[in-house]
């Protein structure tokens, strides 16, 4: 018989694996930031800066004292982290760099065979990439703006052919991100940015699959093959299923039936065999309310978020304003181990104001005095992080 895992237990295990049961008031040293990212697996990067960058918000929700300088040092000085792709752009521990080499090869094959990239480079892909590599080899790290006078802009996001070439070469592993200036990437030869990691051999397919599935399982605890495959966006679904079958036979995972918080039928899944022991050791989640980044790992899979927490979340930044249910950049509210509401904030940096444009509590959640105080505490932490001196609420919210 499969292990029956209650919905609350599955949610608590996931929160703990993703660093949301640890004490956020612990010292946010550079080492603790690196440890947190390692536990998460990666932190998604996104360009939207309505409140703060996605990676900063994700780390801030786990470490009150987090400051971007620690992350910058880990990326640009220590080279303990690197930037590349999982399901999206992300910051990843460099100790796993070799596991991106198969991804580099797949990107190369797609770029060489798909006309889409060639069109971005004006039909002269080979020539453009050779030119870009040559300049970086001779001059050192360069930004796309360093090439902006070398050709007409294309029609796709107004990219120049050189910008497209830089992105191609980065995805192929020829270039790496050496740093950022005002969030603009500086590209350099990967062998110069990560010389030791760049020289590592490509993992054998069996070793790659083992790493992708085992490391994902550790960060999910309760999972389906599809969720394993999607975690790094690396293992094909069929391969993840085969890995689960073999791991089950070996006793490395167990069959499970995970109850759903949204009232849907229990889900056939797998779990790490010590899930009940892990559950017993998990401390009570912090007695506070936290603002989660829209790209937080517990929200990334909308269907899983609904099953685990009974919380239906959709990122609406790319939805036409008239069709949004909530707002442009809405932050879910995590209270203990429950998602209890959502908030639409905006930082007006020129005025030093954190504006709350919308606030919605989940059904059955009352804005008691204690809960309102927790929300204000969370907003004060966010205001301090973003440099806002004042918090303002839109009419009707308070």
**What pLDDT does residue 153 have?**
44
**What pLDDT does residue 154 have?**
44
**What pLDDT does residue 158 have?**
53
Count CB atoms within 10 A of the CB of residue 226: 14
The pLDDT confidence band at residue 118, using thresholds 50, 70 and 90, is confident
pLDDT tens, position by position, 169-212: 999 999 999 999 999 999 999 999 999 999 999 999 999 999 99
pLDDT tens, position by position, 280-298: 999 998 989 999 999 999 9
Does 146 have pLDDT greater than 50? yes
H/E segment holding residue 126:
helix 125-139
DSSP E strand stretches across 39-115:
43-44, 81-85, 89-93
Q: What domains does the chain contain, in order, with CATH numbers? A: 114-193 (1.10.10), 289-392 (3.40.630)
**What pLDDT does residue 156 have?**
40
**What integer is the mean pLDDT of 262-266?**
96
Does 383 have pLDDT greater than 90? yes
Mean pLDDT score across all residues of the chain: 94
Does 398 have pLDDT greater than 80? no
The pLDDT confidence band at residue 160, using thresholds 50, 70 and 90, is confident
**Antiparallel, parallel or unpaired: β 338-348 and 43-44:** unpaired
% of residues, the chain, pLDDT over 70: 97
pLDDT tens, position by position, 344-379: 999 999 999 999 999 999 999 999 999 999 999 999
**What integer is the mean pLDDT of 14-31?**
96
Residues 13/57, Cβ–Cβ less than 8 Å: no
**Which SS3 state, helix, strand or coil, does residue 78 take?**
coil
**What pLDDT does residue 123 have?**
80
H/E segment holding residue 289:
strand 289-291
Beta bridge mates, 181: 184
Does 92 have pLDDT greater than 80? yes
| Phi, psi for 64 (deg, rounded to 5) | -55, -40
**What pLDDT does residue 150 have?**
64
Beta bridge mates, 90: 44, 84
Does 129 have pLDDT greater than 70? yes
Does 157 have pLDDT greater than 60? no
Residues 6 or more apart from 294 whose CB is under 8 A from it?
54, 313, 315, 317, 329, 330, 331, 332
Residues 355/392, Cβ–Cβ less than 8 Å: yes
Give DSSP secondary structure letters for 165-216: HHHHHHHTTSEEEEEEETTEEEEEEHHHHSHHHHTSPPPPHHHHHHHHHHHH
Does 155 have pLDDT greater than 70? no
**What pLDDT does residue 148 have?**
72
pLDDT tens, position by position, 206-253: 999 999 999 999 999 999 999 999 999 999 999 999 999 999 999 999
Does 81 have pLDDT greater than 60? yes
Does 256 have pLDDT greater than 50? yes
- Provide the whole-model pTM: 0.94
Residue 41, sorted as left (phi over 0), alpha (psi -120 to 50) or beta, turns out to be left
């Amino acid at each position: 018989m499969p292990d029956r895992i209650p919905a609350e237990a599955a949610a608590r295990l996931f929160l703990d694996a993703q660093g949301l049961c640890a004490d956020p008031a612990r010292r946010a040293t550079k080492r603790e930031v690196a440890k947190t990212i390692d536990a998460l697996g990666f932190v998604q990067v996104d360009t939207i800066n309505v409140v703060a960058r996605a990676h900063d918000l994700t780390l801030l929700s786990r470490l009150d004292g987090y400051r971007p300088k620690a992350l910058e040092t880990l990326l640009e000085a220590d080279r303990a982290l690197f930037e590349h792709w999982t399901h999206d752009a992300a910051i990843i521990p460099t100790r796993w760099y070799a596991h991106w080499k198969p991804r580099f090869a797949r990107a190369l094959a797609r770029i060489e065979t798909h006309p889409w990239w060639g069109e971005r480079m004006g039909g002269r892909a080979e020539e453009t990439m050779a030119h870009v590599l040559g300049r970086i080899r001779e001059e050192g790290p360069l930004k796309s703006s360093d090439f902006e006078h070398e050709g007409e802009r294309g029609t796709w996001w107004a990219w120049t052919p050189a910008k497209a070439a830089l992105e191609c070469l980065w995805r192929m592993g020829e270039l790496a991100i050496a740093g950022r200036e005002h969030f603009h990437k500086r590209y350099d030869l990967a062998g110069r940015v990560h010389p030791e990691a760049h020289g590592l051999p490509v993992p054998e397919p069996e070793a790659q699959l083992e790493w992708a599935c085992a490391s994902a399982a550790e960060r999910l605890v309760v999972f389906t093959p599809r969720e394993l495959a999607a975690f790094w966006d690396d293992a094909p679904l069929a391969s993840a299923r085969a890995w689960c079958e073999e791991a089950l036979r070996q006793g490395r995972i167990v069959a499970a039936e995970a109850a759903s918080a949204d009232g849907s039928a229990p889900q056939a899944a797998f779990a790490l065999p010590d899930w009940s022991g892990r559950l017993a050791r998990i401390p009570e989640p912090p007695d506070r309310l936290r603002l989660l980044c829209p790209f937080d790992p517990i929200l990334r899979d909308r269907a899983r978020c609904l099953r685990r927490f009974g919380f239906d979340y959709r990122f609406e930044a790319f939805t036409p304003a008239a069709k949004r249910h909530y707002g442009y950049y809405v932050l879910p509210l995590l209270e203990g181990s429950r998602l209890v509401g959502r908030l639409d904030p905006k930082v007006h940096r020129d005025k030093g104001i954190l504006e709350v444009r919308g606030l919605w509590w989940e059904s059955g959640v009352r804005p008691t005095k204690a809960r309102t105080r927790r929300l204000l505490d969370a907003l004060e932490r966010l205001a301090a992080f973003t440099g806002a001196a004042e918090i303002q609420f839109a009419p009707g919210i308070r």
